[in-house]
Structure formats: C-alpha cells, structure tokens
Structure 1
Amino acid sequence: MNQLTADDLIYGYINGIFPMADSDETLYWYSPDPRAIIPIDTYCSHKSLRPVLNRKEFEIRINSDFEGVMVHCAAPRTDEEGTWISQDIIQAYTELHKLGFAHSIEAYKDGNLVGGLYGVAIGAAFFGESMFYTVSNASKVAFHYLIQILRQRNFQLLDTQFINDNVRRFGAIEIPKTEYMARLRKAIASKARFVEPDVEHLFLR
C-alpha cells in the first residue's frame, strides 16, 4: 500500500481494524477475534500502586510530547523481538495527533519523560496503542490517569486489541468480534472529548 495517512487510520478504527508493521516495515491491518477490551467502569488500581499515586511520584501531562512517547514505545525491548511501530506509523499517528484524534499521557520525573502511553479517540471510543516506561510504575500511573479521563469524559469503550499479560493486569477481557463491533458502532456514534482544545498542558501533579 501507499504511505499510511491519518485518513487511513481513522477509516481503519471506525471499521474495527488497525495497522502494525512487520520486521521489514511492511504494514498489515488486523482485526482480532476475539478482541481485547478493558472495561472502563470496573478498573481498579492495584493496591501496590496506591502508595505511588499518593506520593505523587510523577508529574502527569497530556499531549506534551506525543511523538516522543511514540519513539519510546517503538524502541526495542528486552522481552520482545523487534517492534511493530515503524517510522511510517510514527509519522501517520503524529499527523493524527495534530488533527486532534491521537493523544498521549506522559509521566515525568525530575523533568524527564520516563513513561507514558498513546492512543486514538474517536467519538466515545479510545483505542489504546502502546505504552513504555524507563522508571518503575511510570506507565501504570499514566494508565491510571487515562482511566480517570475516560470516566470523566463519559467514554464507553477502551480497546486494547490483543490479550496479553500486560493488559490483563489492567483488567482486560476478551469479547467476540461481533460484540466488539456492536460496542464500537455505539461508541463512535456518541460524543465525547478527550481533552478540551485549550487544555494541552500539565494535567496533574
């Protein structure tokens, strides 16, 4: 296919598909069955995370360094081979971010970006893409605040695509593709705003 664009991404998400790159950076589109989601209303932070939250160890920002989060997420990891986040994917999602559809939640310590996540918001659906950390608990804290935002803004669906140990610890479950598509259609037809246009700054300390 030609170079991935923001329009391609929007079309894909509203139709239940998403791109990933192979080791040679060839893009493929996926639509898992079953599909992994995290129920927004039933998420509860793990007891071990509560002291970290109470101590306010991290400064949390929204959309302060979207591309930086993606670059960190694309970096090689010791427990995985390669990455599915190619340069084309970074460019396309960064363009989607500029259009107001893609967002990052970032954890900072001593002024340094040490963890975070990014995803796509369309209607009342949020599609979680990837997360990273260089300091323990940083990505978990970022996810905790993602859930708070989704609850405050009345989001209906948090898609995590595939089930794995990483998303299971946040309460991910699998549902049939037919059920996912029904939830997706309802969510994208609903109105929700991830952040107000003038709130692209420090979120919580």
Structure 2
Amino acid sequence: MAIYLPELVAHDVSFPPLHRALTEPDGLLAMGGDLSVPRLMNAYANAIFPWFSDEDPLLWWSPSVRAVFAPNSLQLNRTLRKQIRRYKLHFSVNYAFAKVMSHCAAPRATQLGTWILPQMQQAYLQLHLQGHAHSLEVWQEDKLVGGLYGVMVGSLFCGESMFNLLPDTAKLALVALQQHLQQKAPGWIDCQLPNPFLMQLGAQTIERDDYCAMLQLYRCQLLPLSHWQARHITLDMTIDA
C-alpha cells in the first residue's frame, strides 16, 4: 500500500502536527527538508527526530511510545563499580564529541550499515559547536572505550546513540550522564525508541502525549553553558542501586 508523507521544504522549518504521524510504520511523520540547526532544534522541541538509512529520503519521526529514564533510575551497582576499578576508567563531557559520533556510527556486528550517515555526523557536529549537542566519554587511560551523545532541549537530554568497547562502558556512560545532569536538572533522559537493552537498565515507556507534556515543562528550563564545558567529571561511587 502506498504511503503519503508531507514533504518539507528548505525555507520552512515547521512540521506537520503530530496527530498526522502514521501508525504503520509507527511515528513516521514527514520527509525531506534539511538537517539545519534551526530545523533540528525545532524538531526536538516538538517530539520529532530524524532517522533514515543511506537509501532513504530524509525521514522524520514521532513515535507513539517513547523510552525514557526517570530521575535517579540509573545508578551504580556493585558490578559497575567493579568495572570502573578493574579497567581504571575515568569520565568526561564534551572532550571528544566527533570521536564519540564516529564510534556510534560504526556498524554493529548484527548490522549491515549505519543510520548515522556522514550528513548526520556533520549536522550534529554543528549542533555541538552551537552548544546544543553534547557527549559523555568513558576513558581507559587515553583510549576512548565508551560514550554517548545527544541533544539538550532545555533541561531534557535527548539521547541519540551510544557505544562500548569494553564491557558495561555504555551503561556507565548513561549513569555518568544522569549524575551530571542532576547537578543542574531533574535528570530525565529521552532514549526515543524502547529496546531490550534500555528496558533492562530501567527505562520506562510513556505515551507521546505524556512525552509532549514533559517537553513543554522542561524545554524552557535552560542549563548554564558552563555545565557543558569540556572537562573531566567524577562519578559518585557511594550511590548504589
């Protein structure tokens, strides 16, 4: 069956209303447009994100169900603390944004390709340079072994992707991110689509309307730019799950 999608134009960064998103495939809202900073920030502020493969047009989504981590839901347990000590790990924010994206874009063993295409990497690098996108890095000495990146919408962190080269370093990046957020913000993390890995870590699902209400509450609560100054950060090792 043919699918009709509104096609976005370059001079207008607005999107169709969310109630027009398809139910099959779930959340597909529009196609086309561009990956400019104004369009991307307008998308995230309205519960929309881009997601497409190499042979697709630029596709925009707002799924009916989102996966989120509530405040204090990501904590260090004994296993994670043991991994930090075993591998002598340390953490930073915004030290290596481009490298984190590059690692996230590398195809997984079970994937034939990646959705983090070169144009996506360039677009999110521009978001980073303008202070909207941030990375959390996990290091073993001077080697980058885990991390994640995403977009801040007010005080809500919209996670995009993560990677690990050592066991549990993606989990540790999430814990470090939430601890860092909760110094200045409630600590909500949007993970877009639920998957078994996220649910095992304690993510919960919420309906689109509830997510939009959360966005409306938090998108105007801006964090100070100094909070994302590139620097090393220290985890609170006393917090236990």
Structures share fold, TM-score greater than 0.5: yes
Give distance in 1, aligned partners of 2:233 and 2:174: 14
| Matches for 1:100-139 after TM superposition, within 5 Å | 100-139=131-170
Q: Alignment partner for residue 58 of structure 1, among 79, 86, 89?
A: 89
2:149 aligns to what SS in structure 1? strand
Task: State the shift of 1:136 in Å.
Answer: 1.5
How do residues 144-163 of structure 1 correspond to structure 2 at under 5 angstroms? Answer: 144-155=175-186, 157-163=188-194
Contact 1:40–1:150 (CA under 8 A) maintained in structure 2: no
Q: 1:15 aligns with which of 43, 46, 53?
A: 46
**Whole-angstrom distance in 2 between the partners of 1:195 and 1:58:** 24
Q: Paired residue for 1:42? A: 73
Superposed displacement of residue 142, structure 1: 1.5
- Shift in alpha-carbon separation, 1:150–1:192, aligned structure 2, 3 A: same
Q: How far apart are residue 110 of structure 1 and its match?
A: 2.8
Cα separation, 2, equivalents of 1:194 and 1:43: 24
Structure number, greater radius of gyration: 2
- Give the unaligned 5+ runs of structure 2: 1-31, 236-241
C-alpha RMSD of matched pairs (Å): 1.9
Answer whether contact 2:128 2:134 (CA < 8 A) is retained: yes
CA contact (8 A) 1:114 1:134 kept: yes
Deviation at 1:16, TM superposition (A): 0.4
CA distance in 2, matches of 1:139, 1:23: 25
Assess if the C-alpha contact under 8 Å between 1:157 and 1:183 holds in 2: no
TM-score, normalising length from structure 2?
A: 0.78
Single out whichever of 144-153 and 39-48 deviates more from structure 2. 39-48
Name the amino acid aligned to 2:123.
Answer: A
The one-letter amino acid paired with 1:126 is: F
Q: Is the 8 Å Cα contact of residues 115 and 139 (structure 1) preserved in structure 2?
A: yes
1:31 lines up with 2:31 in the alignment:
no
Post-superposition offset of 1:54: 4.9
Q: Identity over the aligned pairs, expressed in percent?
A: 34
Q: 1:127·1:158 contact (CA, 8 Å) conserved in 2?
A: yes
SS in 2 for 1:196: helix
CA deviation map 1:5-40 (0-9, x unaligned): 111110100010000121325321111111111112
Contact 2:74 2:174 in 1 (8 A): no
1:3–1:88 CA contact under 8 A, matched in 2: no
Partner SS state of residue 108, structure 1: strand
Structure 1, unmatched stretches of 5+, are none
